[in-house]
C-alpha cells in the first residue's frame, strides 16, 4: 500500500530531488492541492508539483517521480503538459494554413515563369552565399622589461701606517757658578752656619703627548647612470595561408579563367581545365 502525502507533510525550504537523482529545486510555497518549486537548472521557471507524484519524504528532502516526458521537457505537472499539447496543435494548424496559402499564390507565378532556365525551374541551387575565411598572422610586439643584472659592492677597509715626527721640547738643567766675595766686612753668622744640609732643586722638562682626532679627508659620491646600448632579439612569427583542394572531376571545374593556386584561392589546375 503506497503512502499518500499532503500539505501537512511538506514545508517551505525542503529540497526536491527526482527519482533519477537530479536536484529539482526548493519548495517556496505550499497549497492544499500542490506545492511550488523554485526555478533552477532543471526547471526554467517556477513549477507547480502534485502531492500524488511524491515517492518519499525525508527530514529536509522530497523524492519526486519524474516521467520520461518530464525529463525531456523539464516540466513538472499535468497542466504544463496540456498547455504544451495545445501549443503544438495551434502551431500545426497555423502551418497547414500557411502551406495552403502558399500553394494557391504560387500557382499563377509558376505559369508566368515557365521560361526560366532548367536549374531554376527545378528548384535547384539557392542564391550564392559568400563564405568568409579569416587568415591570421602574428606580429611582433616589443616590450622592454627591467631586470636585475647584478650588484656592485663597495667595501670600506681600515689601513694603518706608522707616522714619525720631531717635536722641539724644553727642559731645565743646572749651572753652578762660583763668585768670589768682594766685601771684607764680617757677616753675622746665621743659624745654618757650619751645619750640613742638602738643597733639593726640582728640574722640569717638556714631554710629548700624542693625541688623535678624526676628520673627513674626502667624500666618495656613488650614482648610477643609464647608458643606451643595442641588444638583439629574435622570435618566430606564424601566419596562415589558404590552400584550396578541389575534389570535383576535372571536367566539372571552372574554365572561365579564374585564378588558381594558393595566391588566387583556387585549386591548382582548376582554372584552365587541363
Following DSSP, what letter does each residue of 125-173 receive, concatenated? Answer: ------------B---------------------------------B--
Whole-number pLDDT of residue 110: 42
Task: Kindly report, residue by residue over 213-265, the tens digit of the pLDDT.
Answer: 999 989 899 999 998 999 888 999 999 999 988 899 988 776 554 544 444 44
> What is the average per-residue pLDDT within 186-206?
79
Is residue 36, in this structure, part of any structural domain at all?
yes
Whole-number pLDDT of residue 49: 86
Domain boundaries, position 89: 1-106
How many distinct structural domains can be found in the chain?
Answer: 1
Query: 189: alpha, beta or left, given left = phi > 0 and alpha = psi -120 to 50?
Result: beta
Is residue 233, in this structure, part of any structural domain at all?
no
pLDDT at 113 over 50: no
> What is the average per-residue pLDDT within 156-177?
91
pLDDT band at 79 (very low <50, low <70, confident <90, very high): very low
Whole-number pLDDT of residue 159: 92
- Give the span between the Cα atoms of 54 and 5, in whole angstroms: 7
pLDDT at 199 over 80: yes
pLDDT at 158 over 90: yes
Is residue 28, in this structure, part of any structural domain at all?
yes
Is residue 32, in this structure, part of any structural domain at all?
yes
Is residue 82, in this structure, part of any structural domain at all?
yes
Task: List the grid coordinates of 121.
Answer: 525551374
Is residue 22, in this structure, part of any structural domain at all?
yes
Q: Are strands 15-18 and 23-30 parallel, antiparallel or unpaired?
A: antiparallel
pLDDT at 106 over 50: no
Is residue 236, in this structure, part of any structural domain at all?
no
pLDDT at 87 over 60: no
SS3 78: helix
Q: Domain of 90: which CATH number?
A: 2.30.30.240
Is residue 65, in this structure, part of any structural domain at all?
yes
CB 10 within 8 Å of CB 52: no
Task: Kindly report, residue by residue over 40-53, the tens digit of the pLDDT.
Answer: 666 667 778 888 88
Q: What is the mean pLDDT of the chain?
A: 75
Amino acid at each position: 500500500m503506497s503512502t499518500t502525502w499532503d500539505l501537512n507533510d511538506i514545508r517551505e525550504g525542503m529540497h526536491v530531488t527526482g527519482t533519477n537523482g537530479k536536484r529539482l529545486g526548493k519548495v517556496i510555497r505550499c497549497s492544499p492541492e500542490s506545492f511550488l518549486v523554485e526555478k533552477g537548472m532543471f526547471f526554467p521557471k517556477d513549477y507547480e508539483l502534485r502531492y500524488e507524484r511524491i515517492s518519499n519524504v525525508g527530514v529536509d528532502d522530497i523524492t519526486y517521480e519524474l516521467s520520461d516526458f518530464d525529463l525531456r521537457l523539464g516540466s513538472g505537472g499535468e497542466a504544463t503538459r496540456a498547455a504544451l499539447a495545445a501549443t503544438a496543435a495551434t502551431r500545426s494548424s497555423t502551418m497547414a494554413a500557411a502551406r495552403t496559402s502558399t500553394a494557391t499564390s504560387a500557382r499563377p507565378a509558376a505559369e508566368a515563369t515557365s521560361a526560366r532556365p532548367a536549374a531554376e525551374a527545378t528548384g535547384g541551387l539557392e542564391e550564392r552565399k559568400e563564405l568568409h575565411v579569416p587568415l591570421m598572422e602574428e606580429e611582433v610586439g616589443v616590450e622592454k622589461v627591467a631586470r636585475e643584472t647584478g650588484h656592485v659592492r663597495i667595501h670600506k677597509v681600515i689601513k694603518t701606517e706608522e707616522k714619525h715626527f720631531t717635536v722641539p721640547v724644553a727642559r731645565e738643567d743646572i749651572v753652578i757658578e762660583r763668585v768670589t766675595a768682594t766685601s771684607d766686612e764680617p757677616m753675622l753668622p746665621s743659624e745654618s752656619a757650619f751645619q750640613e744640609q742638602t738643597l733639593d732643586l726640582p728640574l722640569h722638562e717638556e714631554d710629548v703627548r700624542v693625541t688623535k682626532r678624526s676628520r673627513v679627508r674626502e667624500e666618495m659620491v656613488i650614482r648610477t647612470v643609464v647608458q643606451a646600448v643595442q641588444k638583439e632579439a629574435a622570435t618566430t612569427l606564424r601566419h596562415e595561408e589558404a590552400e584550396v583542394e578541389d575534389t570535383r572531376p576535372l571536367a566539372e571545374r571552372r574554365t572561365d579563367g579564374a585564378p588558381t593556386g594558393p595566391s588566387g584561392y583556387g585549386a591548382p589546375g582548376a582554372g584552365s581545365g587541363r
